[in-house]
Structure 1
């Protein structure tokens, strides 16, 4: 492992708790230029000097295009060196970066280009068809489109940096940031845009330092493994903060369970950001495969974004030990955290609020509900605000005073721990009774016949809604054999009847090869529900 950089006292910002200075990627490039920064999935290694030099060149090229403070760029690319270099270029000159989900269609990417008012568009060759369609539909000029590889109608990326060297600082330097688009599981994605701070790009913000310090991973000898696409908020944040603190970042392009174990072993990875689906796939590996890799270097594996079934969480804690930390947060800001040891005392909780977050459970009229009662989860991140870009009605609808909601239902116990019940939009009301699908899904996935499950309400003439389940079987099922399908449905419902109350029991089950999940583990239920409600 490369030794931590020696950073001049003038670099970074002072940590008020210790009086020490917090560094940044730009300062590290000067103090320890050969320090490894990134290893990508192709085995390419970039030092901090390489990273910052590329950022300088791209930042100057963007300014030549007239892109500056408050403008936005869109990146449609896998996890790769160029993505990170472009992000740091934007970070250096006050530009917003909107990473596009590469599962989107051309018109959907065009929506992000239009909505963000992008001044430049960057796309990887792998997504050439989508990128070209998005360029044509949005009308963005070809001279503002750059390709990582070869994309029709796009200029080679090298043309952006032509004529600039890596030592040339951009004319105007001020801190930019992400403009992440929410996953859009209930409609068009919303761009979350925070006011620019005017801070220097040479400084790491104290909140970012303390965010990692809270997980025990703030020191520069840590190694971060990025196994999910960087168009997700937390994934991108973990990569960027790791680099700002002088850590090595290992990028995975396409995640697989055994490859993750191999990389943890090979690079002595200390932390990663994961989703529950990835835990489930790791647990499916043969015991001999799991035992062949050394994961003792792990210090903290942080997970969130989607509910984690209790049996999966327990199994991971038994395997990896108490290094697994869960959080509840959103692109909009604020959150809660619970350590592995705490979770074993409070199974199912997502933790207590961060010191920078106020948490309240409110009813539909905006009034607080008593401890232990279910209501709408509202948070406020101190000293921060956000708005959904060009969507004032969506912004206003998310707030009660200074508190905002992401649409989740939950309750707080007497010790201040938050327990989530479900998304409000997903709650089933059957015969006037509230039913929370997440609870039933967790019980379904604990059954040996079930690999994954989705539960939702469908129309019922008397009750309003009835409970429906869609299941991905653990073993191959011949869907053309009605007897096999009926036998599996009967077996699952029979086992489930002993685990949930009768009114929660699905009235029928559909079987599919795979459920529509996003890369962050979130289930896109509207794909399953819409045919029943159309």
Structure 2
């Protein structure tokens, strides 16, 4: 299925709803706009297999541009608007993007990211600012009919590597028609009952892989997407009741925030329309999930996957109550647990999680990382550790080494450490995650100041601003601690595990 089909059969059906703006876009309008923008992509010289980059908020441009790229056979690279200009510029270069489209509100970031990319064509969606032209004004002159050479495109999204440098996950382009089913349409319809009757609440930033892919999947299936510009726990409940939401996706942090609402607020809203509440992105504490099941009913569904989509596991409420803590059985690919010597391990033994028989991918411009993510059988991993039980249910027992997951966002400490040690008052730095009741984890930096510099609140504020300017707010440590010396091996290697265990134990004792 495809929005173009629904534009023919049910043109007035809402495809997109923005409650805070009073905006409703039907399938006929979405299809016509995506056609105009597809023509403009061709007018800019983009052909099948080329890359167009998006720097968007959560506005309608996300959907118009995504469907224009999809029907033009392009790779679409959605870039986080929380990154620094340097990170955005890196992704633009690495992806080989030929065009950047940015929301008007992100003009300053777009301009800063492209200042050293004079050959990159760059436009704002509805405005003009310096070298950034008005994209919609150009597209409005194009026909609303389909381009003559429609073919199916795909996304090319970036997932941080173990050193923090973003890496592009490049899948193959589909060979079939633009309306062919996808792994997510199969999963959405078979596991979650998604259909043209679906009313889906999108709660998260659309530059993340899962929110973007699920919202587009709902529109493929003919459902309506209700958009939040940013998550608010009570507002989510209001929208569920007001729009009779049937499906939604969340991260565990959202659950925590909703559960912390006063009882009278939680009980004020009718959530009985919900058929499937889907969560992923980070491990969900067992007690949090039990509380959500008690509140919402047996409609919670969890899945485990990565941007690479080399495999997916899934679990429903009934299964989870029998297997608390599990992230389910494979629904895409086959789960394999591999030991340190490369051997496949039996049920109950812990090792690295691989998937066989899943979709193929590569890390763009990085054959070494691509090779490291595959074993000699061609099975693929995203680096997580776990085990399967005798029934094939997967349990995660560890994450990629020292990776921090805060509010469903992956953060890698090495990149932050590399920035901090360039500050003139910092001699050494160690960054890792510590438990946080709301965000799952928060970023902590342990700093060894240079001799004669006091490790105090003033220095913490200075380092916080220093990091934010270079890496953006998401990667900036929330807490700083100071020590006279950090533990290092004679070789100079930082013994971060020692610090990590110490602070984790202290947090456990304090809890």
8 A Cα contact 1:123 1:148, kept in partner:
no
Aligned pairs, number = 436
2:6 counterpart (21, 25, 28): 28
- Residue 193 of structure 1 corresponds to 170
* Residue 84, structure 1, aligned to residue 63, structure 2: yes
Looking at structure 1, the residues matched to 260 and 219 of structure 2 have their Cα atoms a distance apart, in angstroms, of: 32
Looking at structure 2, the residues matched to 495 and 134 of structure 1 have their Cα atoms a distance apart, in angstroms, of: 43
1:66 counterpart (30, 45, 49): 45
**TM-superposed deviation, 1:444:** 5.9
Looking at structure 1, the residues matched to 43 and 196 of structure 2 have their Cα atoms a distance apart, in angstroms, of: 34
- Cα distance, 1:278–1:151 mapped onto 2, change above 3 Å: farther
1:116 counterpart (65, 72, 95): 95
SS of 1:313 mapped into structure 2: helix
Q: Deviations over 1:410-450 (max 9, x none)?
A: 1111121111011141299xxxxxxxxxxxx999667xxx8
- Residue 396 of structure 1 corresponds to 371
What's the RMSD between the two structures over aligned residues? 2.6
* Residue 214, structure 1, aligned to residue 201, structure 2: no
**TM-superposed deviation, 1:254:** 1.1
- Residue 115 of structure 2 corresponds to 136
Looking at structure 1, the residues matched to 292 and 134 of structure 2 have their Cα atoms a distance apart, in angstroms, of: 44
Looking at structure 2, the residues matched to 271 and 191 of structure 1 have their Cα atoms a distance apart, in angstroms, of: 29
* Residue 343, structure 1, aligned to residue 314, structure 2: no
Q: Deviations over 1:326-360 (max 9, x none)?
A: 11111111111111121111111111111x31111
**TM-superposed deviation, 1:100:** 0.4
The farther-off stretch of 178-187 and 324-333 is: 178-187
Looking at structure 2, the residues matched to 465 and 205 of structure 1 have their Cα atoms a distance apart, in angstroms, of: 49
Looking at structure 1, the residues matched to 196 and 186 of structure 2 have their Cα atoms a distance apart, in angstroms, of: 14
* Residue 296, structure 1, aligned to residue 279, structure 2: no
**TM-superposed deviation, 1:72:** 0.6
8 A Cα contact 1:276 1:307, kept in partner:
yes
* Residue 103, structure 1, aligned to residue 82, structure 2: yes
- Cα distance, 1:277–1:189 mapped onto 2, change above 3 Å: same
SS of 1:66 mapped into structure 2: coil
- Cα distance, 1:150–1:399 mapped onto 2, change above 3 Å: same
**TM-superposed deviation, 1:160:** 2.9
Looking at structure 2, the residues matched to 455 and 250 of structure 1 have their Cα atoms a distance apart, in angstroms, of: 32
SS of 2:137 mapped into structure 1: helix
- Cα distance, 1:407–1:293 mapped onto 2, change above 3 Å: same
Normalised by the size of structure 1, how large is the TM-score? 0.77
Q: How does 1:112-191 map to 2 (within 5 A)?
A: 112-142=91-121, 144-166=122-144, 168-184=145-161, 186-191=163-168
8 A Cα contact 1:454 1:469, kept in partner:
no
- Residue 478 of structure 1 corresponds to none
Looking at structure 2, the residues matched to 118 and 445 of structure 1 have their Cα atoms a distance apart, in angstroms, of: 37
8 A Cα contact 1:304 1:327, kept in partner:
yes
SS of 2:39 mapped into structure 1: helix
8 A Cα contact 1:91 1:177, kept in partner:
yes
Looking at structure 2, the residues matched to 247 and 293 of structure 1 have their Cα atoms a distance apart, in angstroms, of: 23
Give unpaired runs (5+ residues) of structure 2.
405-431, 447-485, 490-494
Q: Deviations over 1:85-133 (max 9, x none)?
A: 0110011110111000010111111111111111111111222221101
Looking at structure 2, the residues matched to 205 and 452 of structure 1 have their Cα atoms a distance apart, in angstroms, of: 35
SS of 2:383 mapped into structure 1: strand
* Residue 94, structure 1, aligned to residue 73, structure 2: yes
SS of 1:242 mapped into structure 2: helix
8 A Cα contact 2:434 2:442, kept in partner:
no
Q: Deviations over 1:157-190 (max 9, x none)?
A: 2233142132x22131000111111145641111
- Cα distance, 1:285–1:397 mapped onto 2, change above 3 Å: same
SS of 2:370 mapped into structure 1: helix
SS of 2:196 mapped into structure 1: coil
- Cα distance, 1:34–1:493 mapped onto 2, change above 3 Å: closer
SS of 1:426 mapped into structure 2: coil
Looking at structure 1, the residues matched to 65 and 403 of structure 2 have their Cα atoms a distance apart, in angstroms, of: 41
Give unpaired runs (5+ residues) of structure 1.
1-22, 429-440, 472-488, 497-534
* Residue 386, structure 1, aligned to residue 361, structure 2: yes
8 A Cα contact 2:434 2:443, kept in partner:
no
Q: Deviations over 1:311-338 (max 9, x none)?
A: 1111111111111111111111111111
**TM-superposed deviation, 1:76:** 0.5
- Cα distance, 1:493–1:79 mapped onto 2, change above 3 Å: closer
- Cα distance, 1:343–1:301 mapped onto 2, change above 3 Å: same
Looking at structure 1, the residues matched to 167 and 323 of structure 2 have their Cα atoms a distance apart, in angstroms, of: 33
Normalised by the size of structure 2, how large is the TM-score? 0.80
8 A Cα contact 2:402 2:433, kept in partner:
no
Looking at structure 1, the residues matched to 396 and 71 of structure 2 have their Cα atoms a distance apart, in angstroms, of: 38
* Residue 422, structure 1, aligned to residue 401, structure 2: no
* Residue 264, structure 1, aligned to residue 240, structure 2: yes
SS of 1:369 mapped into structure 2: coil
**TM-superposed deviation, 1:135:** 1.3
**TM-superposed deviation, 1:218:** 2.5
- Residue 229 of structure 1 corresponds to 205
* Residue 43, structure 1, aligned to residue 22, structure 2: yes
Looking at structure 1, the residues matched to 300 and 243 of structure 2 have their Cα atoms a distance apart, in angstroms, of: 19
8 A Cα contact 2:255 2:292, kept in partner:
yes
SS of 2:401 mapped into structure 1: helix
**TM-superposed deviation, 1:460:** 4.5
